[in-house]
Amino acid sequence: MSIQATTTTMNTAQIILSNAIPLFASFGYAGVSMRDIAKEVGISGAALYHHYPDKQSLYVSAMRYAFADKAAGITSALDGGGTATERLERFITGFTKLMADDPDFRALLQRELLDGDEERLRLLANQVFEKPFQAMTQLAEELALDCDAHMLAISMAGLVLFHFESAPVRQFLPGGLQGHDQPEVIAQHVIQLLTRAVGH
């Protein structure tokens, strides 16, 4: 998508991020250069560096941009009224749908976890994931006083994400059904597991 082909409602920085996300998702951090991104966007290298001084700052901005709607959805689900169980159900249902709708973000996250670059992971934890995770941890504390809230919050997200990550092989395992890939089916399954585990 070149800048000339886009509407004026998107500014150049957003256009850069929108083009960078699928590149990073497909090739990983190390497999994408600033030159690649500039070429994909249709701008000069100098114009790209005007907006982002280096690849790492662009990458963190791309992750933040890709995660923005997920963070908003998480916050909305967890800050709303209702019991802890009702908020858990809203969170799992919303988070599952968001993950199903955005394979690029799932690929970005999976690549980061596999790459294991400590500096980038620390930046992502602090600048992208920290606030939504705090809200998840608060819910976990309400759900199960006798559980480690940090571990339970990780499990809440991990149970959803693993269903998508394992989908390519899951279809070949005994009992695998095509319907298991539906976000509604995944969400309902995870909700049942979690509510039973915490005694709700």
| Per-residue pLDDT tens over the stretch 69-126 | 888 888 888 887 899 999 999 999 999 999 999 999 999 999 999 998 999 999 889 9
Domains with residue ranges and CATH for the chain: 3-51 (1.10.10.60), 60-197 (1.10.357.10)
Q: In the numeric block, which tokens belong to residue 156? A: 């809440």
Residues of the chain with confidence (pLDDT) below 70:
1-10, 200
Q: What percent of the chain has pLDDT above 70?
A: 94
**CA distances to 11, 65, 66, 173 from 122, in Å:** 28, 17, 17, 36
What is the pLDDT, as a whole number, of residue 10?
58
The pLDDT score that the predictor gives to residue 7 is 41
Q: What is the pLDDT of residue 75?
A: 85
Contact at 8 Å (CB) between 82 and 46?
Answer: no
Tabulate helix, strand, coil % of the chain (nearest 5). Answer: 80, 0, 20
